[in-house]
Amino acid sequence: MTEKQKQMAILLQDLTLAFIINSAATILGGGFQSAGTYWSGMGMAFCINYIAGLVIPVENIGRGAAEKLKLRDGGFPHRLVRTAVVNAIFVTIISLSIAMIQGGLGPDLLFAWLSTYPALHIVGLIASLLLEAPCACLAQTLIPSSKP
């Protein structure tokens, strides 16, 4: 994949994950309240995820964790560990940030955050594992490689 294709694949995956994670958080938080609340939550999830990805080398951290376990790059165990680490970083940042935005820094913050975090982490991990290949294929379709 070219660098542009990789960036497009990441963007597609971030958008899709924002939708999935926000939908799961909406369900876990008691259900759909309003379109404005839902779409603003999705926007927050995407922006936080995208900015965190620009600042934190999550892919390198995930690959490093898989390599420390001496897992073969390209194999499912390597992909699982890499994706689990990346997902843990992103879901932690996104869910904690949104819990702070929606509930403030009060005494209930930790409880509110931890009440949804495990489920969001599992949903995010499964979605990430399922989305990686289709998003890469779509990115390669949208941005064809230039032939020399």
What pLDDT digit, counting tens, does each position of 85-123 carry? 999 998 898 888 888 887 788 888 888 888 889 999 999
Sequential DSSP letters for 29-85? TTS---HHHHHHHHHHHHHHHHHHHHHS-HHHHHHHHHHHTTPPTTSHHHHHHHHHH
Would residue 122 count as lying in a domain? yes
Residue 42 near residue 18, CB atoms below 8 Å: yes
Residue 68, pLDDT above cutoff 90: yes
Q: What is the pLDDT of residue 148?
A: 54
Find the mean pLDDT for residues 121-144: 93
Tell me whether residue 35 is in a domain. Answer: yes
Asked whether residue 20 is assigned to any structural domain, the reply reads: yes
Domain of 106? 3-142
Flag whether 147 is in a domain.
no
What angle, rounded to 10 degrees, do the helices at 35-55 and 76-103 form?
120
Residues with Cβ within 8 Å of residue 101, at least 6 apart in sequence: 44
What is the phi/psi pair of residue 147, to 5°?
-90, 135
Q: Is residue 148 part of a domain?
A: no
**Six-digit token pair at 63?**
């690959």
- Count up the domains in the chain and report the number: 1
Which whole-number Å values give the CA distances from 27 to 23, 51, 119, 120, in the listed order?
6, 25, 11, 11
Q: What is the DSSP letter of 144?
A: P
What's the distance, CA 99 to chain centroid?
16
22 inside domain? yes
Say if 25 falls within a structural domain.
Answer: yes
When comparing pLDDT for 67 and 37, which is higher?
A: 67
In a domain, 11, yes or no: yes
- Give the mean model confidence (pLDDT) for residues 49-61: 90
